[in-house]
């Protein structure tokens, strides 16, 4: 499927650029992608690596990473994307879980190479010293695909194998919903070893015959000049990027840059409504909040490009069936709006089981996958997320969703970011602890800390019922986050239990 997309795109667009490096030093045309895909297929065939086998990719250069990932996928193999900056121990652990037959890496002093695992006499290289005890992965029944692990921020990571059919289907849905076409130039600085950049960035751009500009890292001061220089029409972002830009509305926006951008897409974590409003008021650019997960090959819901965009909502179902349910008499039944329940999904882009024998308890007999998220629909069918089921705080029988406290805090002018976690209490069961990153400079002085603490307590007293009001507020220089900007709540709970 991906190979056919490349062949068709090369026939239509030829030397039109598919990928560009943000620095302007490297490009890849559709014809160049076609040549790369054919070369990788030939190289893997000659190395004796069968269709469906797993190939790990770990490259520091975003353009090289993206080219290898899409080319190997088109060659009918399963790509295992790795973080090139990860410690060797973490890489070894993932290799042992994924069991690839080979690794594409530029970790050595020479150009990127293909190292065969478990076959030191293979034609293209020997097993790397830090590759771990991984045997060959063997053919995958579905042919090409992408093998990923869940982030593990809320539980034990699970292996997820996304087939070419799933990837192509969701990429087409994204391209259609976002109205991407050959005239579009997207910007993506998100990690290429996560599903968002892979499907929403690389594959949706391919399906649309558009161009994607890849950046190795986000720079607040360099963002707007780059957007103007590269003539960007849409941005693939996460809430942390949008929030940082919204906090700096005085930043120089080159004339014409804002008017050329059709929208900024937000995904991977909840976007505070206050940050969305500040960004749109400062720059006049629509923010499209979406919701997705690895198990669904990225997009599940999205706010419309035209029509109501509701701050705080992740929008309408887009590419997957979505329902909100509660357990009643031993079975799940749909919740009426606006009752909060468990969010479940199914559809062509959603996996039906986890890879490598991982527990399948999240699936019901009708094919619904329990996402682990809690949320509710409003009367217009828009989905609002309340948080993870694991993160709900039970304080003396009162259920507290961290997001409802966080939105109160984030609306205060002195708050840059905030997170709420539950800590065990012998009497009440749990109580909420607040971590706040001030919007100003760090460290804050004693007076500033005291004044901000007073303001936050007053805001919570005015907006929340007594059982939901936090009593412990911690000011910190930053929140622990993963590569896609999700707050590492387990780490915060550990800090809270340790009294930090």
- Mapping DSSP to helix (H, G, I), strand (E, B) and coil, where does residue 167 land? helix
- High-pLDDT (> 90) share of the chain, %: 61
Tell me how far apart the alpha carbons of residues 175 and 208 are, in angstroms, rounded to a whole number. Answer: 6
pLDDT band at residue 439 using 50, 70 and 90 as cut-offs? confident
Q: Residue 137 — pLDDT band, cuts 50, 70, 90?
A: very low
Element housing 446 (H / E): helix 446-463
Q: If you average pLDDT over residues 196-218, what whole number do you get? A: 97
Q: Select the highest-mean-pLDDT range: 273-277, 373-377, 401-405, 467-471.
A: 373-377
Q: What is the predicted pLDDT for the residue at 15? A: 96
Q: Which of 433, 442, 429, 358 is nearest to 395 (CA)?
A: 429
Which range among 154-158, 313-317, 386-390 has the greatest average pLDDT? 313-317
Prediction pTM value: 0.85
Residue 419's φ and ψ, nearest 5 degrees, are: -150, 145
Question: Can you spell out the DSSP letters for 372-396?
Answer: EEEEEE-TTS-EEEEEEGGG-EEET
Residue 28, SS3 per DSSP: strand
pLDDT, mean over the chain: 87
130 pLDDT higher than 50: no
> Tokens representing 266?
């937000």
Round to whole Å and give the CA distance between 108 and 120: 17
Residue 122, pLDDT score: 38
Domains, the chain, ordered by start: 2-9+23-170 (3.40.50.980), 218-389 (3.40.50.12780), 392-497 (3.30.300.30)
Residue 135 confidence (pLDDT)? 37
Half-sphere exposure of 101 (CA within 13 A, CB side): 20
Position 227 scores a pLDDT of 93
CA distance 74 to 66: 12
Predicted local distance difference test score (pLDDT) of residue 110: 56
Confidence of residue 357 (pLDDT cuts 50, 70, 90): low
- Residue 299: predicted pLDDT: 96
Mean pLDDT of the 156-164 span: 85
Name every residue whose Cβ is closer than 8 Å to that of residue 20 and which is 6 or more positions away in sequence. Answer: 26, 27, 28, 63, 211, 212, 213, 214, 230
Answer whether residue 120 shows pLDDT above 50. Answer: no
Structure token pair of residue 209: 């015959």
pLDDT given for residue 337 in this prediction: 93
What's the Cα-to-Cα distance from 444 to each of 113, 176, 244, 414, 448, rounded to whole Å? 49, 47, 19, 11, 6
Q: How much is the pLDDT for 324?
A: 97
Cα separation of 456 and 378, whole Å?
Answer: 29
Instruction: Report whether pLDDT(228) > 50.
Output: yes
Residue 387, pLDDT above cutoff 50: yes
Q: Please compute the mean of the pLDDT values over residues 184-194 and round it to a whole number.
A: 96
What residues have CB less than 8 Å from 110, skipping those under 6 apart?
Answer: none
Pick 31 or 130 by higher pLDDT.
Answer: 31
Judge whether residue 230 has pLDDT over 90: yes
Query: Helix H segments across 247-311?
Result: 257-260, 273-283
Predicted local distance difference test score (pLDDT) of residue 118: 60
Check residues 350 and 446 and name the one with the higher pLDDT.
350
Choice among 6-20, 199-213, 260-274 with the minimum mean pLDDT:
260-274
Query: How many angstroms separate the Cα of 441 from the Cα of each of 387, 414, 416, 449?
Result: 29, 11, 10, 12
Of the candidates 95, 135, 107, 130, which has an alpha carbon nearest to the alpha carbon of residue 119?
Answer: 135
Q: CA-to-CA distance for 21 and 40, rounded, in angstroms?
A: 21
Axis-axis angle for helices 220-229, 239-246 (nearest 10): 100
Distance between CA atoms of residues 295 and 367, nearest Å? 13
- At 44-78, the pLDDT tens digits run 999 999 999 999 999 999 999 999 999 999 999 99
């Amino acid at each position: 499927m991906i190979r056919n997309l490349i062949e068709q795109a090369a026939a239509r667009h030829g030397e039109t650029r598919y990928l560009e490096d943000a620095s302007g030093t490297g490009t890849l045309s559709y014809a160049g992608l076609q040549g790369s895909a054919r070369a990788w297929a030939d190289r893997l065939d000659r190395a004796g690596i069968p269709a469906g086998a797993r190939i790990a990719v770990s490259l520091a250069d975003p353009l090289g990473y993206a080219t290898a990932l899409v080319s190997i996928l088109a060659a009918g193999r399963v790509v295992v994307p790795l973080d090139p900056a990860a410690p060797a121990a973490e890489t070894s652990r993932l290799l042992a879980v994924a069991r690839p037959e080979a690794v594409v890496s530029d970790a050595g002093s020479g150009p990127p190479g293909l190292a065969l695992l478990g076959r030191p006499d293979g034609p293209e290289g020997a097993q790397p010293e830090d590759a771990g005890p991984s045997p060959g992965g063997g053919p995958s029944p579905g042919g090409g695909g992408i093998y990923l692990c869940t982030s593990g921020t809320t539980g034990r990571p699970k292996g997820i194998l996304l087939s070419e059919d799933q990837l192509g289907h969701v990429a087409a849905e994204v391209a259609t919903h976002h109205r991407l076409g050959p005239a579009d130039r997207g910007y993506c600085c998100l990690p290429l070893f996560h599903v968002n950049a892979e499907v929403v960035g690389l594959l949706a751009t391919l399906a649309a015959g558009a161009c994607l500009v890849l950046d190795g890292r986000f720079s607040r001061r360099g963002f707007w000049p780059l957007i103007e220089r590269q003539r960007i029409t849409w941005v693939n972002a996460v809430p942390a990027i949008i929030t940082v830009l919204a906090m700096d509305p005085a930043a120089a926006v080159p004339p014409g840059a804002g008017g050329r951008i059709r929208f900024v897409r937000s995904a991977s974590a909840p976007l505070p409504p206050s940050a969305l409003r500040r960004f749109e008021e400062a720059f006049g650019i629509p923010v499209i909040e979406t919701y997705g997960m690895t198990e669904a090959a990225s997009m599940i819901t999205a706010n419309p490009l035209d029509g109501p965009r509701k701050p705080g909502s992740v929008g309408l179902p887009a590419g997957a069936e979505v329902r909100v349910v509660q357990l009643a008499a031993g079975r799940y039944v749909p919740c009426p709006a606006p009752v909060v329940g468990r969010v479940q999904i199914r559809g062509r882009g959603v996996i039906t089981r986890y890879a490598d024998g991982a527990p399948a308890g999240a699936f019901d007999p009708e094919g619904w996958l329990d996402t682990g998220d809690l949320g509710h629909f409003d009367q217009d069918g828009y989905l609002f997320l309340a948080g993870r089921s694991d993160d709900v705080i039970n304080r003396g029988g009162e259920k507290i969703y961290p997001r409802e406290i966080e939105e109160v805090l984030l609306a205060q002018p002195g708050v840059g970011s905030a997170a709420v976690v539950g800590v065990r209490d012998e009497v009440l069961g749990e109580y909420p602890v607040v971590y706040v990153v001030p919007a100003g400079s760090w460290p804050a002085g004693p007076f500033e800390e005291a004044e901000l603490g007073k303001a936050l307590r007053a805001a919570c007293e005015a907006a929340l019922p007594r059982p939901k009001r936090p009593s412990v507020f911690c000011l910190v220089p930053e929140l622990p986050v993963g590569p896609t900007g999700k707050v590492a709540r387990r780490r915060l709970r550990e800090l809270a239990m340790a009294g930090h």
